[in-house]
Amino acid sequence: MKLALILISTISLLTACGGGSDTPAPAAKVSISEVTTDQLVYRKLSTITVKGQNLNLGINLSHQGCLKITELTGSTATQKTFSCKMIAAGTVPVVITDGAANSVYASTVTIPLAKQPQVTMVTNLGTVVLELNPAKAPITVDNFLNYAESGFYVNKIFHRVISNFMIQGGGFTANLVEAPTQAPIKLEAGNGLSNLRGSIAMARTNVLDSATSQFFINVVDNIALDTESGGYAVFGKVVSGIDIVDKIKVVPTSIQASMKDVPVTSVVINSMLQTQ
């Protein structure tokens, strides 16, 4: 009789703790059912909505057309929302990975751009029109336009002029005081645009990701700059006023404040405005 009681107790214990099955419950996985964007407008803030299952386990959104992707509050296990600024143009990839870096979604979106943005730079020696290429250099173009829109370039000078090389400006005032800038940007060299005569590129230090406001216009073909020391990012070209560039490149220069190749008479940027 005592033996029967022991057997009954053992069976009850096994049943209560799930001992009757060796199959573990399947692990929850992230899945994506839909990704939508409220607007695809160049240089406008957009909201991206991601729908799916188990999103609370963590996802990472990579969108090459977006700058500063930020997850918004109010996310749930089935929906997350993000905001970002659309800075690219054309077709760009969108990839979502889970917390273990496994791809759970991959697609593309097309950000329309009717015309390439143009900036008109008025100097005391004449006017130059620059056409920018956000499809090839989205971060650089957005950065340049931010400085232009803020009025930063007004009363800045071309402080470095070398007649058989390039003209550089956008960082110093006429009394050679360097203006405070925004944070440096990621280098976008190797984007398919070359440092040819008439192209505009970002100046930087020996640190690759150090460009801020200063730019240069190539007055001859400087193809070596495409790769030299990590490369210099071209982001546009002169479409009108190359004669003004040629006028600037031959102004007399001297050493001033320990800086070489400074124009004796300042070449001043009077205005820098997006006109297309």
Residues in the chain, total: 276
> If you average pLDDT over residues 248-274, what whole number do you get?
97
Domain end point (choices 72, 87, 111): 111
Its domain, for residue 39, covers: 31-111
Domain count, the chain: 2
Q: Are 225 and 231 in contact (CB under 8 A)?
A: yes
pLDDT-based confidence at residue 271 (cuts at 50, 70, 90): very high
> If you average pLDDT over residues 174-196, what whole number do you get?
97
**CATH number of the CATH domain containing 250:** 2.40.100.10
The reply to whether 5 falls in a domain is no
Residue 183 shares a structural domain with residue 60: no
Residue 251 shares a structural domain with residue 170: yes
Residue 91 shares a structural domain with residue 176: no
> If you average pLDDT over residues 256-262, what whole number do you get?
95
**% of the chain at pLDDT higher than 90:** 85
Residue-level pLDDT at 114: 85
In whole angstroms, what is the distance from residue 141 CA to residue 120 CA?
14
Rounded to the nearest integer, the mean pLDDT of the chain is 91
pLDDT at 22 over 80: no
Tens digit of each residue's pLDDT (9 = 90 or more) over 36-58? 999 889 999 999 999 999 999 99
> If you average pLDDT over residues 234-261, what whole number do you get?
97
Residue-level pLDDT at 26: 77
pLDDT at 81 over 90: yes
